[in-house]
Amino acid sequence: MDFLRPETLAEALELKAARPDAVPIAGGTDVMVELNFDHRRPAALLDLTRIPELREWSDGLRIGSGVPYVRIIDELGAQLPGLAMASRTVGSPQIRNRGTVGGNLGAASPAGDTHPVLLASDAVIEVASVRGTRMIPADEFYVGVKRNALEPDELIVAVHLAPAKGPQQFSKVGTRNAMVIAVCSFAISLFPEENRAGAAVGSAAPTPRRAVDAEEFLASTLDFASPKPLLDSVKREFGELVSRAASPIDDVRGSAAYRKHALAVMARRTLGWAWQELLGQKNGGGEHACA
């Protein structure tokens, strides 16, 4: 196995073009597991950890694909609360020190924790090759079970994600209180100025996916400009629509019926918390999300 260690992005793209079979490795928290389990035997590994550009974030926000979770939590928690919440649930401290959003996107597991947040928050994935750069909306990035929209010569360079314009929440069910792969997960981002919200489910369909009907329901039902306390019936209907957006399976981690049920509960609750926070902001009360 060849171990390729480019120092710059340009060099990495050259290498990837020349060796499309080379498997990129960032934190390695997915790749090394696959190698250890002998699920994958790449002819070459393309180490991305030496490329400074991938490990930086800049205002806007443009987050290098190689920024580890621990830095997203510490440095971007205020601007990207949803992504920080999801990052906090990934694995253990060791995994959060190494693992990256780029790696989560590269693996494109339906259970990856950042995906629902990226979908609900209108993230755009910047990918590049020697042929140029593409900006792929998160919506179009996940194309199948563990498959993404990358061409064989492309690398994920960054995630573009505007600082939160309103309250955001992420919630994930697992059968243990830490270090657990999602049985199912849910993210919501409010865009009060646009009078709408983004909502997406994880680990409940072949790919992470937006709950479009649920989003439309909120846009048509709620008044984001002068919010009133939420009706229970709205929360319930929203939960139902989120649950209907999913097409889960029965597997060792949980039943399809449970996933649908849990998504409805998480959707109801997270909408409640986000809305409560919005009410607090609008009423100038500095009120907190916690019920």
**Cα separations in angstroms, 142 against 50, 70, 112, 203, 205:** 27, 24, 11, 13, 11
101 binds other proteins (CB under 8 A): no
99 binds ligand FAD (CB under 6 A): yes
103 binds ligand FAD (CB under 6 A): yes
Cis status, amide bond into 150, omega within 30 of 0: no
Q: Which does 192 bind (CB under 5 to 8 A by kind): ligand FAD, other proteins, none?
A: none
95 binds other proteins (CB under 8 A): no
234 binds ligand FAD (CB under 6 A): no
Q: Which does 64 bind (CB under 5 to 8 A by kind): other proteins, ligand FAD, none?
A: none
How far apart (Å, rounded) are the C-alpha atoms in residues 199 and 190? Answer: 9
Among positions 17, 258, 279, 287, the unique one binding other proteins when judged by CB under 8 A: 258
162 binds other proteins (CB under 8 A): no
Q: Which does 149 bind (CB under 5 to 8 A by kind): ligand FAD, other proteins, none?
A: none
Q: Between 142 and 238, whose beta carbon lies closer to ligand FAD? A: 142
Among positions 5, 50, 98, 134, the unique one binding ligand FAD when judged by CB under 6 A: 98
Among positions 35, 107, 265, 279, the unique one binding other proteins when judged by CB under 8 A: 265
How far apart (Å, rounded) are the C-alpha atoms in residues 258 and 249? Answer: 10
120 binds other proteins (CB under 8 A): no
Q: Which does 37 bind (CB under 5 to 8 A by kind): ligand FAD, other proteins, none?
A: other proteins
Nearest to 107 by CA among 183, 200, 171, 23: 23
Site for other proteins in 57-86 (CB under 8 A): 85
Task: For the CB of residue 176, give the shortest distance to other proteins in the complex, in Å.
Answer: 5
Among positions 61, 212, 234, 289, the unique one binding other proteins when judged by CB under 8 A: 289
262 binds other proteins (CB under 8 A): yes
124-129 and 132-137: which strand pairing?
Answer: antiparallel
Residues at the contact surface with ligand FAD, assessed by CB under 6 A: 23-31, 33, 48, 65, 89-91, 95, 98-100, 102-104, 106-107, 112-113, 155-156, 181
Q: Which residues bind other proteins (CB under 8 A)?
A: 36-38, 85, 88-89, 92, 169-181, 183, 252-255, 257-258, 260-262, 265-266, 269, 272-273, 289-291
